[in-house]
């Protein structure tokens, strides 16, 4: 299992709305993430908009590709894109994994 951590930046004026969106993630989106192999997926949001994402998966690129192939992901990413600063494409395409330097097993 690979652990993946990434950073994104939520616009400061959209923090409350971003939180509200994630209190009501569509059931079909949750099902698609699970089917695509996203495990233990968490998002953490700092007050300045720094978003830290964490997930576990066998193969991150395969898991991301499986999500990209779903219509629900396309709709979700389109809906979420305006919340972010400095994206290089859709939010999920901008998830650049950080290098893991330590893990307490």
Chain-centroid distance of CA 32 in Å reads 13
In the DSSP assignment, the letter for residue 37 is T
**Which is the catalytic residue, given 12, 17, 19, 22?**
22
CA end-to-end span of the chain, whole Å?
13
Is residue 22 annotated as a catalytic residue, yes or no?
yes
What is the set of active-site residues?
22
């Amino acid at each position: 299992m690979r652990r993946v951590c990434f950073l994104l930046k939520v616009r400061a004026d959209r923090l409350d709305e971003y939180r509200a969106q994630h209190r009501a993630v569509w059931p079909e989106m949750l099902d698609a993430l699970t089917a695509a192999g996203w495990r233990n997926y968490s998002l953490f949001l700092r007050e300045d908009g720094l978003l830290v994402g964490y997930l576990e998966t066998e193969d991150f690129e395969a898991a991301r590709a499986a999500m990209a192939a779903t219509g629900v992901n396309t709709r979700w990413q389109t809906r979420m894109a305006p919340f972010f600063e400095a994206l290089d494409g859709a939010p999920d395409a901008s998830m650049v994994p950080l290098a893991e330097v330590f893990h307490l097993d």
